[in-house]
């Protein structure tokens, strides 16, 4: 299966609340790293889908654009939206753009990471500025903690 087919299968399984089908796209040691909810090993992906994604939102649309892969690493640009279910955001539509970054083995996902421009979508949901600052701060801390960022920061 091509990378484009694999990532489409995974994202559309999440859209339709089929966590088992999404997990099936991963190797046994695979991990889904979500920009909001954190890391989920393959066995917990079904719970991530039902107990996080579909608890907090509905009416998902996840469009992938320009997926590319060399067989070891894959990238795809995406536009993602949903209707909020969290208190204060009920029914509001949030729109995000981002890039999926995947490692692959034997035709399955080993890791799924994403870099997303989350602030505009969260603002559409009505998140207060101080809440946005807190989320953006956590994302900055996570980036700074990665080894590849160490030489970019003062010691």
pLDDT tens column, 126-154: 999 998 999 889 888 988 998 999 999 98
pLDDT in tens, 89-102: 998 999 999 999 99
CATH topology of domain 3-146: Nuclear Transport Factor 2; Chain: A, (3.10.450)
What is the band of 53 on the pLDDT scale with cuts at 50, 70, 90? very high
Instruction: Tell me the C-alpha to C-alpha distance, in Å, between residue 130 and each of 65, 84, 120, 126, 143.
Output: 32, 19, 14, 11, 20
pLDDT value for 68: 98
Residue 60 has which token pair?
């998902």
pLDDT value for 36: 85
pTM, whole model, 2 decimals? 0.90
Tell whether the model's pLDDT for residue 155 goes beyond 80: no
- The ranges assigned to domains in the chain are 3-146
Tell whether the model's pLDDT for residue 83 goes beyond 90: yes
pLDDT value for 43: 98
Sheet with 93-105, strands from edge to edge, namely: 38-41, 26-34, 108-117, 93-105, 73-84, 57-69
Rounded average pLDDT over 4-19: 98
pLDDT value for 35: 87
């Amino acid at each position: 299966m091509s990378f484009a087919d694999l990532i489409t299968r995974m994202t559309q399984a999440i859209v339709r609340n089929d966590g088992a089908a999404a997990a099936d796209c991963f190797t046994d040691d695979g991990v889904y790293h979500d920009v909001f909810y954190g890391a989920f090993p393959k066995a917990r992906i079904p719970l991530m889908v039902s107990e996080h994604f579909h608890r907090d939102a509905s009416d998902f649309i996840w469009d992938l654009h320009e997926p590319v892969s060399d067989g070891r690493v894959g990238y795809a640009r995406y536009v993602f939206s949903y209707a909020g279910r969290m208190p204060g955001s009920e029914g509001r539509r949030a729109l995000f753009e981002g890039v999926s970054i995947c490692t692959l083995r034997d035709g399955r996902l080993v890791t799924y990471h994403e870099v997303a421009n989350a602030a505009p979508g969260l603002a559409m949901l009505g998140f207060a500025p101080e809440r946005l600052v807190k989320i953006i701060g956590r994302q900055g801390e996570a980036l700074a903690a990665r080894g590849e960022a160490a030489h970019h920061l003062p010691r």
